[in-house]
Structure 1
Amino acid sequence: MFVSRFAPSPTGLLHLGHAYSALLTQNLVTRNSGTLHLRIEDIDITRCTPDFEKQIYRDLEWLGVQWDSTPLRQSEALSIYINSLKQLVDKGLVYGCDCTRSDIKKALSAPNNLANDGSTVVYPGTCREKNLSLDGRNVRLNLLKSKNYLETEYINFFEQGIGPNKENGDQTFEIGWLEKRYGDFIIARKDIRTSYHLAVTVDDAQQKVTHVSRGNDLFYVTPIHVILQYLLNFKTPVYIHHPLIKDKNGNKLAKSKGAESILSMRNSGTNIKEIRSILGL
């Protein structure tokens, strides 16, 4: 069985990058006689709006993308994320943290602006030994305790697509790599008790996703999701990371940088055949 998903966030209008990912994923599902789920990643309540969500549905329908069940809205699944967090709490693998607002903001969104080498700000473990209450605080995963709990130094996944540095096939990462790259990362924000990492990991398990198709700007956060899968006893899906659609200057298309929206292209007279031609599909 082949099950995949397309998971946009209603923080802005869809652009060609989203169209490419959605159509590519649908093509994969069709070729494999599989199932395509639509997920609305709307936990960032300060930026997500109902109008953007409605336009996502309109744009996908115009593009000819067909999903196979009622869309999963993350804002309606918070109790499920909290239950998964409790499992990690009960295993003694997390701790409360008084961190900065910038840390909190980073925990909300897909970290798809990382450099291709996976570099980012590394949390130094400031609160690891403070024994702070989890109530009213952000929650971080203790990677050292997680490594001891799993009784392994390594985590693995299979890459069926291509990473930013041409990665393909069996991928093995040391848990120590996660410690060096990210430190103990946030898995639950203090106000909504989840994060991008925890939510997407739980969602993929809940929707029984077997193949995760997404941009390869997320390749280097995949080990974060895999270690959560290990700790929560979820099956690790196959990953199919794909290259990004870039502008004429070679930069990734982004809502925040004013990438032309699908809606704007539609309104200017561009048709779906032209969209597919532009995307090489």
Structure 2
Amino acid sequence: MPQPVFRFAPSPNGALHLGHALSALLDHALARACGGRFLLRLEDVDPTRCRPEFERAILDDLAWLGLDWDGEVRRQSEHLAEHRAALARLEAEGLVYPSRVTRGALKALVAAAEAAGTPWPHDPDGAPWPPPRGAPFATVDGEPPALRLDTAAALARSGPLDWIETGGETPGVARRVTADPAAWGDPILARKEMPSSYHLAVVVDDAAQGVTHVVRGADLYRATDVHRLLQDRLGLPAPIYHHHELIRDGQGRKLSKSASDTALAALRADGATPDDVRALIDWPAREADIPRLSRVLRDAR
């Protein structure tokens, strides 16, 4: 059996918060318990939002928490050629098409359909699907198109897909989950301001780094639908997935990078210690379950 490889992959577009601390601590602890490697990747393909000061803050926060990683930090922006090669492979199969629909035009289409009593489909994140490939819609002249995956065409070649999950609604139990990429419509793979979308970059980078186990928040559970389809069409291995529960604020909302009151840097500035952060995310209880959970992850095949 190959050595397990885990990764923590934040985007340097804001401050790390308590939810990131949970993901990083879980990834690190499980990697060490499994006798594996723990990698750090910075998902910085969006030049409009990712900044060097956020990257420096991420490294400072992780060091403050006492976490180390194996090897060099991988920055997605330094591997865009690999992402472009994957995109070209999908294009060669006829699975990518240009889409110039604007947000305003799409909003108008949705409103018109719903006013006529026709519900418009939305993806699991709540975003409306784009019009189907080849449909007429408003465009912006001269604007470079977004490149979308033709999900129906890709599924026709792939057939049914699933993944091994050890988290989600029944954490600590390995099971196969049926993927439903069709629920996402035709997701964007690249656009003018982002040469590689999250979906495309994450599957390419996980494969390039030999990642065997992906531990991440439950908000990305359904994104695995798209990731499995891309992995299949690109001939990439599928990691084992563990989606952990989210840390939420006092109103029950999931934390965001704009929530400064839960940012690790803000907590540090207020005098919090790494042990205080661990207490806030109930880490002692979670840490006690690491030996059992690591056995489940090692054995999940």
Q: TM-score range by the shorter chain?
A: 0.7 to 0.9
Query: How many angstroms apart in 2 are the aligned matches of 1:257 and 1:266?
Result: 15
C-alpha deviations, 1:49-98, integer Å up to 9, x for none? 11111010010001011110111111111111001001111111111111
**What is aligned with 2:222?**
220
8 Å CA contact retained: 1:215, 1:243: yes
SS in 2 for 1:60: helix
Counterparts of 1:153-232 in structure 2 under 5 Å?
A: 154-163=160-169, 169-173=175-179, 177-179=180-182, 181-232=183-234
Corresponding residue to 1:25 among 27, 40, 46 = 27
Q: Secondary structure at the match of 1:269?
A: coil
User: Please, what TM-score do these two structures have when normalized by structure 2?
Assistant: 0.80
Aligned to 1:136: 144
Deviation at 1:34, TM superposition (A): 0.6
Q: How far has the Cα of 1:168 moved from its partner?
A: 6.0
Relative distance call for 1:101 and 1:42 in structure 2 (3 A) is farther
SS of the residue aligned with 1:213?
A: strand
The runs of 5 or more residues in structure 2 that have no matched partner are 106-121, 138-142, 284-301
Alignment length, in residue pairs? 262
Q: Aligned partner of 1:186: which letter?
A: I
Give the direction of change, closer, same or farther, for the CA distance of 1:64–1:157 in structure 2 (3 Å limit): same
Q: Distance in 2 between matches of 1:123 and 1:220?
A: 18
Conservation of the 8 A alpha-carbon contact between 2:48 and 2:193: no
Q: Aligned residue for 1:109?
A: none
Q: TM-score normalised to the size of structure 1?
A: 0.85
The 5-angstrom pairing of residues 50-199 of structure 1 reads 50-101=52-103, 119-127=126-134, 136-150=144-158, 152=159, 154-163=160-169, 169-173=175-179, 177-179=180-182, 181-199=183-201
- Distance across 2 between alignment mates of 1:157 and 1:193: 27
Amino acid at match of 1:171: V
Question: Who is 2:11 aligned against?
Answer: 9
Check whether the contact 2:166–2:172 (CA below 8 A) recurs between aligned residues.
no
- Aligned residue identity for 1:155: L
What do residues 246-268 of structure 1 show as CA deviations (whole Å, max 9, x unaligned)?
11221111112444211111122
Q: Find the residue that maps to 2:19 and give its secondary structure.
A: helix
For residue 39 of structure 1, what is the amino acid of its counterpart?
R
**2 CA distance for matches of 1:77 and 1:99?**
28
Query: Deviation at 1:102?
Result: 7.7
SS across alignment from 1:28: helix
Query: Aligned with 1:77: secondary structure?
Result: helix
Q: Percent identity?
A: 40
Corresponding residue of 2:250: 248
Asked whether the equivalents of residues 123 and 129 of structure 2 are also in contact (C-alpha less than 8 Å), the reply is no
CA contact 2:148–2:187 (8 Å) conserved in 1: yes
After the TM superposition, which parts of structure 1 deviate over 4 Å for at least 4 consecutive aligned residues?
Answer: 115-119, 163-168
Give, in angstroms, the shift of residue 117 of structure 1.
5.9
Q: Which residue of 2 aligns with 1:107?
A: none
Q: Select between 19-28 and 117-126 the one with higher mean Cα deviation.
A: 117-126
What amino acid is the match of 1:33?
Answer: G
3-state secondary structure, aligned to 1:17: helix
